[in-house]
Structure 1
Amino acid sequence: MHYALNLRTFFYSHYFYLGLRFAAGLVGVTLITLHFSDMTTAMTVCIGALCTALMDMPSPLRHKFNEMSASVLLCSAVTLLISLCAPVPWLLMTMLVVVSFLACMMVVYGKKSMPLQLATLFIMTMSMEHEMSVRQSFMHTGLFTLGAVTYLAYAMGISWILRHRIKQQVLAEALFELAAYIDIKADFYDTRYNLNEQFNKLVRHQSLLADRQQASRDLILRAHQNSKDAIVVQVHVCMLDLYELILSTHTDYAQLRMHLADSPVLGTLHDLAYKAARDIESVAYDVTRKKASYAEISYTPELDAIEAELAALQQRIDEGKPQQEALAVLRAQRNKIRAIIKMIGELHQASQKVYDTTPFWVDADMGPFLSQQKYEFRMILSHLRMDSPIFRFSLRVAMAISAGLAIGAWLPYAAHSYWIVLTIVIILKPSFSMTKQRRRDRIVGTVIGCVITALIIKFLNYPALILGVLILATVAMPTFVYLRYRYAAIAVSVMILLQMYLIAPGNDNLIMERLVDTMVGAAVATAFSFVLANWEYQSLPRLIREVLDVNLRYMQASFDLLQGKGKDDFAYRIERKRLMDSLAALSSALVRMLDEPARKQRAVEDINLFIVQNYLLVAHVAALRAILRRHAKELPAGPVNAMLGESHEQVVGVLTQALAPQAAHARRPGADALATAATTADTSSVPWSGWPLVQRRIRLLQADAVKIIVHSEAIVRNVA
């Protein structure tokens, strides 16, 4: 279950804070306007505030101001344009289609532009029902802009006051997702779970974890100026170091299960991982409450049990029984888990200290770690071509809205075309899987919302109660819109239907009409989701190539770090982030493809394995870092660097071959041999306790690199 759906953490999450901020702003603007004017004016001002509120998301203050200002200007312009065109039906229809197309083209600017697109289409549909004179249109737009600017000022003021609080909440969300990630890893030690299924589950969760960590970076690393900021910066950095240690715990779980199947130590390892997840959750829990975190979980019983098992294995070896492999694997896991427990302790300490300055890389450019967004008009122009998914999506929405308007005009009852159009723009998304999910949530949410509203009107028709339900729905809608859209759909249906009932209480068919309009809009959106559709398999070659390209750079930075060529791990962290982002993008595409029709799915198993193998390369590098740190005493730098250099050349050669255009048809001689090639560095003459562990990891690294070629070739063949 998502952490924010747990009552223990819900009221401290940034989702609930967003709902409160949203509701207080909308209700406040409406009540103040009602005090000086009538209901019609108040609703116009309220809708202006609502459109701006759709852009009210956790962001750095400068970015938030720019995003919300863009919403004010764009939505005001659309309001004026549609209001002026409303008296001329053919011109209105033309403008609706044109505005829909242009609003959908804004998706080229990425995920941040989606709320702006929705706000634009929302005010377009709200403005199409009112016929006004030119003077009335300008007055209506002025009132709309007044509400929008008022909410902008209010939201910026609240965000400035709570700027540090929002950082804490977003950081805590990343920590909660890291704890959930460890919970998945804990089940690798449970023989009841299939290893392949667990790996797939782990990789899927990685994309969500990467998204939450990026949100934390964008807020925390852009501006850190005082001692309060210093604490969240340090906790954030500790979280990323802890994540790398967790990656290094990857081992041959099948071998571990085989050797220790009859031992209770697997259950002990599971319990240790479970406790570690709860320990991280306790840090996140305290961060959301602006408190220093202190360790309250004891790992001693489980660690003692592992030591006892290691002693028993050693005794069996002394008796001549072949238990060396089991001893080595269990000892390695014990060492990694101890390192993780120590890092969790540092995570607690990071939340306790008081810093004079932010303890981060001095004078370092944080740009590579942050989301870079450029809003250039030429980006839209570059996508005005039929092979662009964004262009096809924009055409699809424009055609669907045209069909919705035609059906609304044809229906025999007093249909409201704007409701049909609004349903279409809410459901129809750039990808088929998003459309499918949104359609399901929209229909279910609308039906439940209609039933709740009907019960309130029939049995609980008291002004005070209706007002209370309205406020509750206004809080719930933004709270759940990014958390559980189905709940948001219920809330928005209740909110709008009760508002319409208060404005026009004589319409006995209000709820049934809205329900029918929603079903019509959903049917139109479903039909057009197949028109000019962009299927996920079409983007696979590009995503695969991006992963391989970034992995090459990551391997270069990794081996430079392992060989001590750099003064710090800054470049390594940048490339690791980029690789994780590219893997998250590929994993998300795979998840979306699985929601598409079966005939549109390609190379599902090979994509799964390709993602896993790239993930394993990251895990092997993390493990090598941990081994070199753990065995730093008497480290023979020369021979170790020679071994690492040779391994680097081999792995880079394999990844370069996978990137080559001809890789699918002409493989370089000897490529398969790289998987098992032994390093030629002479290690026998230099005694060092880390040799067996380093050599084993390098062999695994080389073997998994070669498997990447196999799966990338298979994906290209299947897609072609």
Structure 2
Amino acid sequence: MEFKNKLENFIYGEALADGIKTSIAIVIPPIVAGYFGELYTGVTMSLGAVLAHMTDTPGPFKERRNFLWLSVLFIFIISFLTKTINHLEYVLGLFLIVIVFCSNMLAVWGQRASALGMVIMMSMVMNMNDLRDDLSALQIASYITAGAIWYSIFSLAISTFRPYRMAQQNLADTMIHVSEYIRIKASMFDKDSNYDDIIKKLIDEHVIINEKQSLVRELVFSNKRLVKDQTPIGRSIVFIYSDLIDIFENITATQYDYKKIREEYGDTKAMRKIYNMMNKLAHELKMIAYHINSNKKPKSPTFDFEVELKKIDDAIKELYDEGKKPIVLTKIYINIKQVIYKIDFIHKFFYDDSFSEKKKNPLDHAQNFQPTVNYSPYKMRDHFNIKSSIFRHALRATIVMLAGYAITFIVPTSYHSYWILMTTVVILKPGFSVTKKRNYQRLKGTISGGIIGLLIVLFIHDQGIRFTLMLFFMLLAYTFIRQRYSVGTFYLTAYVLIAFSFYSKIDTITIIEERFMDTIIGGFMAFISCYLIFPTWEKNNMNEYIQKALIADYEFIFLVFKRLADNEVSTTDYKIARKDLFIAMANINSVFQRVISEPKDKQKNADELNSFTIFNQSFVSYSVGLVKIIKKNNSVILTSEHIRLITKILQLLLQNINMYGNYKTENLLKTIIFDEHPVTMEEMTTDDLKNDAELIKNLLEYLYEIVSDFSKVGQVFVENNSKDTESKIEEKKITV
């Protein structure tokens, strides 16, 4: 059953849908043109479809439409100009310099603009050949552009007829990763599991979840049809996404010290029951995700969660009967009940059209979550300095591509010499770690795919079977190329080799030799350039990312404390702060992943960054833990001890923010109104009030300890940076 669901999830998923759409758009022009005896014309049109596909990444319809038509315009202009000056070697080299530099600078306007830059570079690179010297520059540019127009119309038409499908698919994908996060978190209740490994896995998974949530947020809140839609499918996507965020918040929340819980209750039945329950919750969410992806209504819950909750409740009561006071396990039990409550809501959305969750409609503050990109030309101007990582990468890419262009005149087997430049364009990324990873993936995929493609061409002579295999490899190439690059490159190489066998005059062995050699040359140049030419190391960006994370921590915890003191906090302000908090945490986690992929001698402050990442994860968990207490009680009673700790936490956080560079902390200074005469713990009238007050105190103490740890890490950063600065000054003195 599990395999069947996974298979269905793949079949109905966005990756395969994109693969099918792209493959159809690429293969139809050669088939139609070939019918009229113009196979080469059809293949040229397919090139345009491939280029247009590069900007067609998941996102809001309006953004996709605008950038697709922009790509069509640039594909025509660049293809025409490149073909026109193809025989003028020096002019072509100068044109390459301008195109590569300007295309890479487009990254200042975001990921989609960066993809447009890639289209512009590839439009030039893939036209730097004389493979169609029988046609004029205008003819070739027109055929390529026609293919791009065909792809754009085809892709946008699918989105128009299925306006919710992309949101559904990405919502399901996000839910699957949240379920995986819950499964990992469940290991906290297994005393034999490695605590440090769990934390690392949670951090890695959180990076992925943040990327998925950001995409779904764009798709949901930027889709005007979805925002205004009152149909069951439209409402369900919006509310399920909102509930999924709440579920993730519940699971992220920590109100206790897990190490201490494992020591005290590791061998108890209650811990085993909680562990089993969380795994079942993860399984249930995954099942719902599979059904959302396949556009089906999920069946009733796989498990009877009321019975499962009763088992946990009974196990906790047994501990009370034994004279223990497992208050933290009771809190965990309540937290799990809230997750089940949300899952129950998600089920009801599928079966009751009139059902309405009793909470504020997420779309009431949709305008606050719509993504905005500043396309001002001044933004480009601000990056024209050597300190900008984008500017440095643009210079690096320009130098490497110019060197690659020169090498194409030297390489003996250079019939497809533009492959060197194409490999360099695809592999060379702004960061060393990403380039290193992409290099390995492409080399691995090219070698293995080349072997398979060669074997098929050499031993399968039936044209029908070979064509069928080519279509199959094409489909899988465009299915995996964005999610699993090495797998996508494997199928892409095999499909390209088989395709060449149909119309190329060169034998397959020569082609694979060329492709392998060009991949080695292009990959080596891209890799070594990141180390030698205007290198950008993550250590140079650490301070900025840490400071942004601390600012997000402050903004969020301030609102939590404000609500804790019974001051008014709007739902919109809270959700914006929560969004910024999770994004900042994911960014700092992502930076650490990149740092440890860099050369050892460049991993400055890596240990301290690792410590900060773990501390920050705990800070967020304990902060959200406070939110859970507020939501359960609506209002709580603060003692003078609570107020003292709150004040110390906020003050110390502000000090930490300024450790990493000058920041106008007065921008963060706001007011919390506390009761003039706070009660003491002894004045609490009921056990529930005392328990909550004690739990709040514990959480505040945990938060203060973590903020103190932030300070210790910050001091090491400052000392190391000072030593580094002093050593550079000494080096300059010696040189002089």
- Taking structure 1 as the reference length, the TM-score comes to 0.91
Mapped to 2, the partners of 1:407 and 1:353 lie a distance apart of 66
> Deviation at 1:569?
1.8
Mapped to 1, the partners of 2:207 and 2:458 lie a distance apart of 46
Residue 41 (structure 1) aligned with residue 44 (structure 2): no
Residue 335 (structure 1) aligned with residue 334 (structure 2): yes
Mapped to 1, the partners of 2:618 and 2:410 lie a distance apart of 58
The answer to which of 375-384 and 442-451 deviates more is 375-384
Are residues 175 and 142 of structure 1, via their aligned partners in 2, closer, same or farther at CA, if it must alter by over 3 Å? same
Question: Which amino acid in 2 is paired with 1:468?
Answer: T
Are residues 133 and 505 of structure 1, via their aligned partners in 2, closer, same or farther at CA, if it must alter by over 3 Å? closer
Mapped to 2, the partners of 1:207 and 1:620 lie a distance apart of 19
Mapped to 1, the partners of 2:368 and 2:432 lie a distance apart of 32
> Deviation at 1:644?
6.0
Note if contact 1:87-1:132 (Cα within 8 Å) is conserved in structure 2. no
Per the alignment, residue 620 of structure 1 pairs with 622
Written as runs of structure 1 = structure 2, the 5 A alignment for 1:117-196 is 117-130=117-130, 136-196=136-196
Are residues 142 and 315 of structure 1, via their aligned partners in 2, closer, same or farther at CA, if it must alter by over 3 Å? same
Residue 239 (structure 1) aligned with residue 244 (structure 2): yes
Secondary structure in structure 2 of the residue aligned to 1:409: coil
> Deviation at 1:339?
2.1
Secondary structure in structure 2 of the residue aligned to 1:412: coil
Mapped to 2, the partners of 1:362 and 1:336 lie a distance apart of 22
Note if contact 1:221-1:366 (Cα within 8 Å) is conserved in structure 2. yes
Note if contact 2:659-2:718 (Cα within 8 Å) is conserved in structure 1. no
Q: Deviations over 1:346-384 (max 9, x none)?
A: 222233332599986487443442332223333222222
Question: Which amino acid in 2 is paired with 1:34?
Answer: G
Mapped to 2, the partners of 1:29 and 1:566 lie a distance apart of 61
Question: Which amino acid in 2 is paired with 1:686?
Answer: M
Per the alignment, residue 459 of structure 2 pairs with 459
Question: Which amino acid in 2 is paired with 1:16?
Answer: L
Equivalent of 1:693 in 692, 695, 710: 695
Written as runs of structure 1 = structure 2, the 5 A alignment for 1:265-414 is 265-293=270-298, 294-299=300-305, 302-317=308-323, 323-324=324-325, 327-354=326-353, 361=361, 364-414=364-414
Mapped to 1, the partners of 2:678 and 2:596 lie a distance apart of 45
Per the alignment, residue 650 of structure 1 pairs with 648
Mapped to 2, the partners of 1:719 and 1:82 lie a distance apart of 47
Mapped to 2, the partners of 1:92 and 1:134 lie a distance apart of 20
Are residues 485 and 140 of structure 1, via their aligned partners in 2, closer, same or farther at CA, if it must alter by over 3 Å? same
Note if contact 2:544-2:660 (Cα within 8 Å) is conserved in structure 1. no
Written as runs of structure 1 = structure 2, the 5 A alignment for 1:420-499 is 420-499=420-499
Are residues 379 and 268 of structure 1, via their aligned partners in 2, closer, same or farther at CA, if it must alter by over 3 Å? same
Secondary structure in structure 2 of the residue aligned to 1:410: coil
Written as runs of structure 1 = structure 2, the 5 A alignment for 1:585-624 is 585-624=587-626
Structure 2 unaligned spans of 5+ = 663-676, 723-736
Q: Deviations over 1:99-121 (max 9, x none)?
A: 11221112222222343232222
Per the alignment, residue 512 of structure 1 pairs with 513
Secondary structure in structure 2 of the residue aligned to 1:640: coil
Secondary structure in structure 2 of the residue aligned to 1:354: coil
Are residues 212 and 640 of structure 1, via their aligned partners in 2, closer, same or farther at CA, if it must alter by over 3 Å? same
- Taking structure 2 as the reference length, the TM-score comes to 0.89
Mapped to 1, the partners of 2:454 and 2:34 lie a distance apart of 27
Secondary structure in structure 1 of the residue aligned to 2:560: helix
Note if contact 1:550-1:575 (Cα within 8 Å) is conserved in structure 2. yes
Structure 1 unaligned spans of 5+ = 318-322, 665-678
RMSD value, Cα:
2.7
Are residues 29 and 356 of structure 1, via their aligned partners in 2, closer, same or farther at CA, if it must alter by over 3 Å? farther
> Deviation at 1:68?
0.9
Identity %: 22
Residue 248 (structure 1) aligned with residue 246 (structure 2): no
Per the alignment, residue 75 of structure 1 pairs with 75
Question: Which amino acid in 1 is paired with 2:614?
Answer: V
Are residues 662 and 124 of structure 1, via their aligned partners in 2, closer, same or farther at CA, if it must alter by over 3 Å? closer
Note if contact 1:200-1:608 (Cα within 8 Å) is conserved in structure 2. no
Q: Deviations over 1:273-298 (max 9, x none)?
A: 11110011111111112223331213
Mapped to 1, the partners of 2:528 and 2:616 lie a distance apart of 38
Mapped to 1, the partners of 2:254 and 2:421 lie a distance apart of 51
Question: Which amino acid in 1 is paired with 2:378?
Answer: R
Note if contact 1:48-1:147 (Cα within 8 Å) is conserved in structure 2. yes
Note if contact 1:86-1:132 (Cα within 8 Å) is conserved in structure 2. no
Per the alignment, residue 95 of structure 1 pairs with 95
Aligned residues: 694
Secondary structure in structure 1 of the residue aligned to 2:408: helix
> Deviation at 1:541?
0.6
The answer to which of 73-82 and 33-42 deviates more is 33-42
Per the alignment, residue 670 of structure 2 pairs with none
Q: Deviations over 1:243-301 (max 9, x none)?
A: 11112245311111111233243332221111110011111111112223331213456
Mapped to 2, the partners of 1:115 and 1:30 lie a distance apart of 26
Are residues 105 and 4 of structure 1, via their aligned partners in 2, closer, same or farther at CA, if it must alter by over 3 Å? farther
Note if contact 1:245-1:336 (Cα within 8 Å) is conserved in structure 2. yes
Mapped to 1, the partners of 2:351 and 2:616 lie a distance apart of 36
Per the alignment, residue 265 of structure 2 pairs with 260
Note if contact 1:175-1:284 (Cα within 8 Å) is conserved in structure 2. yes
Note if contact 2:45-2:144 (Cα within 8 Å) is conserved in structure 1. yes
Are residues 472 and 659 of structure 1, via their aligned partners in 2, closer, same or farther at CA, if it must alter by over 3 Å? same
Q: Deviations over 1:525-579 (max 9, x none)?
A: 2221212110001000111111112222212222233344336422111001001
Mapped to 2, the partners of 1:193 and 1:340 lie a distance apart of 24
Per the alignment, residue 673 of structure 1 pairs with none
> Deviation at 1:82?
1.1
Residue 525 (structure 1) aligned with residue 530 (structure 2): no
Are residues 437 and 363 of structure 1, via their aligned partners in 2, closer, same or farther at CA, if it must alter by over 3 Å? closer
> Deviation at 1:415?
4.8
Note if contact 2:44-2:144 (Cα within 8 Å) is conserved in structure 1. yes
Written as runs of structure 1 = structure 2, the 5 A alignment for 1:576-591 is 576-591=578-593
Note if contact 1:183-1:273 (Cα within 8 Å) is conserved in structure 2. yes
Secondary structure in structure 1 of the residue aligned to 2:181: helix
Note if contact 2:179-2:283 (Cα within 8 Å) is conserved in structure 1. yes
> Deviation at 1:580?
1.0
Mapped to 2, the partners of 1:700 and 1:3 lie a distance apart of 43
Q: Deviations over 1:570-617 (max 9, x none)?
A: 211100100111111111111011100011112223222322333323
Mapped to 2, the partners of 1:355 and 1:46 lie a distance apart of 48
Mapped to 2, the partners of 1:550 and 1:75 lie a distance apart of 41
Residue 555 (structure 1) aligned with residue 526 (structure 2): no
Per the alignment, residue 215 of structure 1 pairs with 215
Per the alignment, residue 716 of structure 2 pairs with 714
Per the alignment, residue 667 of structure 2 pairs with none
Secondary structure in structure 2 of the residue aligned to 1:684: helix
Mapped to 1, the partners of 2:570 and 2:114 lie a distance apart of 38
Note if contact 1:176-1:281 (Cα within 8 Å) is conserved in structure 2. yes
Residue 225 (structure 1) aligned with residue 228 (structure 2): yes
Equivalent of 2:576 in 547, 565, 574: 574
Mapped to 2, the partners of 1:230 and 1:431 lie a distance apart of 40
Equivalent of 1:705 in 704, 707, 722: 707
Question: Which amino acid in 2 is paired with 1:423?
Answer: T
Note if contact 1:220-1:229 (Cα within 8 Å) is conserved in structure 2. no
Q: Deviations over 1:1-30 (max 9, x none)?
A: x99994342111111110011111111233
Mapped to 1, the partners of 2:216 and 2:620 lie a distance apart of 21
> Deviation at 1:683?
3.6
Mapped to 2, the partners of 1:360 and 1:502 lie a distance apart of 60
Are residues 681 and 79 of structure 1, via their aligned partners in 2, closer, same or farther at CA, if it must alter by over 3 Å? farther
Mapped to 2, the partners of 1:356 and 1:9 lie a distance apart of 27
> Deviation at 1:717?
3.2
The answer to which of 61-70 and 707-716 deviates more is 707-716
Mapped to 2, the partners of 1:57 and 1:340 lie a distance apart of 32
Are residues 489 and 348 of structure 1, via their aligned partners in 2, closer, same or farther at CA, if it must alter by over 3 Å? same
Mapped to 2, the partners of 1:194 and 1:362 lie a distance apart of 38
Mapped to 2, the partners of 1:49 and 1:20 lie a distance apart of 13
> Deviation at 1:302?
4.6
Mapped to 1, the partners of 2:567 and 2:3 lie a distance apart of 41
The answer to which of 587-596 and 217-226 deviates more is 217-226
